[in-house]
Structure 1
Amino acid sequence: MATTERTLAEPYRIKTVEPITMTTREEREKAIREAGYNTFLLPSKLCYIDLLTDSGTSAMSDNQWAHMMMGDEAYAGAKSFDLLKEAVEEVYGFPYVVPTHQGRGAEHLISQILIRPGTHVPGNMYFTTTRFHQEQAGATFHDVIIDEAHDPQFEHPFKGNVDLAKFQKLIDDVGAENIAYINVALTVNLAGGQPVSMENIRAVRKMCDDNGIIMWSDATRLAENAFFIQEREEGYADTSCAEIVKEQLSYFDGLTMSGKKDCLVNIGGFLAMRDEDILVKARELVVVYEGMPSYGGLAGRDLEAMAVGLREATDDAYLAHRVGQVRFLGELLREAGVPIVEPIGGHAVFLDAAEFLPHIPQDQYPAQALAAELFVESGVRSMERGNVSAGRDADGNNRNPALELVRLTIPRRVYTDRHMEIVARAVIDLCAKRDQITGLKFVYEPPSLRFFTSRFEPIA
């Protein structure tokens, strides 16, 4: 394995450790069979290096833990909510916030508020739970991301950009009055963690203003998006990530936030908005589905940790190390000839499973098979992001997305570069014997969000 130089050390010191244990291959073979070849169903204690997700798996700082002890657990009017509200307004620029138990709760609320049956929601590539809530509310989702995002090998600095021509065509075809809102993800997860440029955000804002369309954001990884703008977009090299975060959000009417990512907490999320009418409706619904508008299904200690974390996540030194560690793993794989999505994204390295396993047709779920085999080979848990995640269309057929990927997702402030080297070695070794991997077929398939609980078996 080639050695990729890393000169940037972790911008923190470790004061608490959690032991992990390597299992035997026999134990892992048994475990993956019992899990139905679905890495979501594996016990975490059997995962040597757990790269399933960066959602809720971050290590919290000493300051966050200190604030946890100061959580106000009053049922209504807790000071911990005031702390979160102040942080959201100061760092993100939104005057109103409604907490939810996680980002999924926020997706549900805004879909119920803004969507009426028969309307349309364009977005820069789908995300699984977001699209589910939009479709459940009666909308039709439209992918308006640039074409380059669907090509894993295409080098483009902002593959998450909205294709303005696609957006305009949708407006012309269905009418602006029938577009509930446009949802712009920062960054785009299923494209490989790809960012959106400030120039593109401004252009989408102008189109929304010209047509009276609400501009919303899935801002789950907004800090990582800001880092890429600082690194790649002209005019931002000397601008702090915190300033870029605030500017990019200034163009949006509101956002859904999964605090479990760029707020560096284990649970929590929120809606933030500028429109008081949306705030009133969100407060009405959050009482039904989540809890009081001042806690939204969270304890006061969770609100405190999230308020601290969203500030910490915009720190330049933290982001340089965060994105740098992901890039370190990606470069090790790329140097060894492993097919990955390029450019390397901000939260994960995505293996191109279609290229990795060209002998397995997409309807035999090569990404799912690769994720399962990687666990058996090494104890590294990853996640499928391809045909299984895309689900079925209205006629019951697999959607067969252009990207068939396995996501190696790096938790924030958890693993060292030595862990990344071990992951790279495991993937490289598996690549050398990839011809031995076979496809899978369903033995249990739920009607929605099937990737969470489906079960499979190998095709003989």
Structure 2
Amino acid sequence: MNLPFAENYRIKMVEPIYRSTREERERWIAEAGYNVFNLRSDQVYIDLLTDSGTGAMSDQQWAALMTGDESYAGSSSYYYLKEKVTELFGFDYFLPVHQGRAAENVLFSVLLKEGDVVPGNAHFDTTKGHIEFRKAQAIDCTIDEASDTESQHPFKGNIDLNKLRNVLETYPNEQVPLIIVTVTCNSVGGQPVSMENLRQVKQLASHYDVPVVFDSARFAENAWFIQQREHGYEHKTIREIVREMYTHADGMTMSSKKDGLVNIGGFLAMRSSSWFEKATMFNILYEGFITYGGMAGRDMNALAVGLEEVTDRDYLESRIRQVHYLGNKLTEAGIPVQQPLGGHAVFVDAGRFLPHVPKEEFVAQMLTVELYLEAGVRGVEVGALLADRDPITRENRYPAVEFLRLALPRRTYTNNHLDVVVAALKNIYERRTEIKHGFEIVHEAPVMRHFTMRLKPIGE
């Protein structure tokens, strides 16, 4: 018989987690204003809120921490990391930052001004927040198939070239400072972007003399999907695919807390010496000196090792297989999820799960809270709350699909934990008609409200 698949690692250390009672969870979520971000970590049994900085590091990464150079300027850890970035992505200019949103802050401080437009594929929350905070506009050019959760399109993260061309023809060149391509595309379900699409986007952008920047938090997972799904890449290595991907970019932002396999850190890399010279000023102003930029030397060391490990095919196969284990179990149970399954998370289609709950009552948040109450599992809403309000009209924005995202930390949970998640969602699905109402907003911040807002059940 064929041998079954097993992870390419063994467990060396464990961390106890507390299994709470439903009565405790009912009290805790009410005290948190029905916002799972406001829960304490020890009030959560299985934490699928995010895959950002929540994974387990390897023994080699822990060893690298001990040799970190904490010099303020000219740290050897900086040069070690810079060498890895240049080798993997091909960019000569590099600035470390404390995480991905810091890279966005530095880059947009260089490139964006009020009234600009930034086309891309379903910009995620911090990206859109930084754009709109500067009184600019993010324009979504994702292909329409991304909003059809039953479609089997293999690259739902792709940019629609006609939509992008329309933006580039509608606005003057000086009003479009860059195009952002998110790989993989988080907002539509961890969906990959094909190499052909990256190539075509870059060709179109070059015709209009607009630079292309990749939001690269999950670059390796995107490369794995290219290897698995795109003709001509099945025999290329992950590192070869990554290097080719970035020939179609002028720069990149990176939250290293995802595919960097570390708990903190990020960077900004680019080809332009002019961009770099301007960015250094903002990096020093916001983050720290250019050779540490908000990161300790030990964390730069761990990140350099993480960039090696994340591009290993065996690691990626184990990672993606676990995500698909959860997604396939939910699909078998009849629970609607974004298809085909993506990379870092499983996205439950809350609108199809609870079709009788009006979108105005934040259906994905309703399902998020129900999952926590059922089993102490913390997912996150990727729906109207995350979409925020229109910065001009201040009306709620309602995305085409309301998702409950179940993001899997890397090398952290076993499949037994995921079986708990499946059982909990099956229980909720069986009693879904009993869920009558959602939430109304009690308090919200003017930008990126979903992190700190407070809600209350309608009718309470």
Instruction: Give the TM-score band, short-chain normalised.
Output: over 0.9
Whole-angstrom distance in 1 between the partners of 2:4 and 2:50: 26
What residue number does 1:423 align with?
421
Amino acid at match of 1:379: G
Contact 1:226 1:244 in 2 (8 A): yes
What residue number does 1:335 align with?
332
What residue number does 2:114 align with?
117
Paired residue for 1:20, among 17, 22, 30? 17
Whole-angstrom distance in 1 between the partners of 2:130 and 2:456: 29
Whole-angstrom distance in 2 between the partners of 1:379 and 1:204: 42
Paired residue for 1:312, among 309, 325, 342? 309
Aligned residues: 456
What residue number does 2:37 align with?
40
What residue number does 2:451 align with?
452
Structure 1 residues 306-339: Cα deviation after superposition (integer angstroms, max 9, x where no partner) = 1110111111000011011001100000011001
Which segment drifts farther, 259-268 or 141-150? Answer: 141-150
The offset of 1:79, in angstroms, is 0.5
Structure 2 residue 144 is matched with structure 1 residue 147: yes
Question: Per the alignment, in what secondary structure is the counterpart of residue 451 of structure 2?
Answer: coil
Whole-angstrom distance in 2 between the partners of 1:316 and 1:415: 20
Matches within 5 A, 1:164-175: 164-175=161-172
Matches within 5 A, 1:75-154: 75-154=72-151
Structure 2 residue 384 is matched with structure 1 residue 387: yes
Whole-angstrom distance in 1 between the partners of 2:231 and 2:297: 41
What residue number does 1:10 align with?
7
Contact 1:115 1:138 in 2 (8 A): no
The offset of 1:209, in angstroms, is 1.4
The offset of 1:399, in angstroms, is 0.6
What residue number does 1:398 align with?
396
Question: Per the alignment, in what secondary structure is the counterpart of residue 331 of structure 2?
Answer: helix
What residue number does 1:376 align with?
373
Amino acid at match of 1:409: A
What residue number does 1:434 align with?
432
Contact 2:34 2:454 in 1 (8 A): yes
Structure 2 residue 225 is matched with structure 1 residue 224: no
Whole-angstrom distance in 1 between the partners of 2:27 and 2:246: 47
The offset of 1:161, in angstroms, is 0.5
The offset of 1:435, in angstroms, is 2.1
Contact 2:133 2:447 in 1 (8 A): no
The offset of 1:138, in angstroms, is 3.2
Contact 2:223 2:242 in 1 (8 A): yes
Distance change >3 Å, CA 6–CA 195, structure 1 → 2 = farther
TM-score, scaled relative to structure 2: 0.98
Contact 1:6 1:328 in 2 (8 A): no
Whole-angstrom distance in 2 between the partners of 1:426 and 1:76: 51
The offset of 1:120, in angstroms, is 1.2
The offset of 1:128, in angstroms, is 0.7
Distance change >3 Å, CA 173–CA 353, structure 1 → 2 = same
The offset of 1:349, in angstroms, is 0.3
What residue number does 1:180 align with?
177
Structure 2 residue 413 is matched with structure 1 residue 410: no
Whole-angstrom distance in 2 between the partners of 1:379 and 1:235: 44
Structure 1 residues 417-448: Cα deviation after superposition (integer angstroms, max 9, x where no partner) = 11111111111111111123231111111111
Question: Per the alignment, in what secondary structure is the counterpart of residue 189 of structure 1?
Answer: coil
Structure 2 residue 202 is matched with structure 1 residue 200: no
Contact 1:367 1:405 in 2 (8 A): yes
Contact 1:111 1:134 in 2 (8 A): yes
What residue number does 1:355 align with?
352
What residue number does 1:213 align with?
210
Amino acid at match of 1:395: T
Whole-angstrom distance in 2 between the partners of 1:249 and 1:322: 22
Amino acid at match of 1:416: T
The offset of 1:225, in angstroms, is 0.3
Structure 1 residues 39-67: Cα deviation after superposition (integer angstroms, max 9, x where no partner) = 11111112111000000001000110001
Identity, % of aligned positions: 51
Amino acid at match of 2:400: A
Whole-angstrom distance in 2 between the partners of 1:6 and 1:151: 36
Structure 1 unmatched ranges of 5 or more? none
Whole-angstrom distance in 1 between the partners of 2:83 and 2:289: 18
Structure 1 residues 200-245: Cα deviation after superposition (integer angstroms, max 9, x where no partner) = 0000111111111101110110000000000000001111111111
The offset of 1:276, in angstroms, is 0.8
TM-score, scaled relative to structure 1: 0.98
Whole-angstrom distance in 1 between the partners of 2:402 and 2:157: 17
Question: Per the alignment, in what secondary structure is the counterpart of residue 228 of structure 2?
Answer: helix
The offset of 1:6, in angstroms, is 10
Structure 1 residues 326-372: Cα deviation after superposition (integer angstroms, max 9, x where no partner) = 01100000011001111111000011111111111111001111101
Matches within 5 A, 1:45-64: 45-64=42-61
Contact 2:350 2:402 in 1 (8 A): yes
Amino acid at match of 1:141: A
Structure 1 residues 387-411: Cα deviation after superposition (integer angstroms, max 9, x where no partner) = 0000000211111111101000000
Which segment drifts farther, 419-428 or 102-111? Answer: 419-428
What residue number does 1:264 align with?
261
Whole-angstrom distance in 1 between the partners of 2:346 and 2:118: 28
Whole-angstrom distance in 2 between the partners of 1:444 and 1:136: 19
Whole-angstrom distance in 2 between the partners of 1:91 and 1:166: 31
Question: Per the alignment, in what secondary structure is the counterpart of residue 410 of structure 2?
Answer: coil
Amino acid at match of 2:449: R
The offset of 1:20, in angstroms, is 1.1
Question: Per the alignment, in what secondary structure is the counterpart of residue 145 of structure 1?
Answer: coil
Which segment drifts farther, 314-323 or 434-443? Answer: 434-443
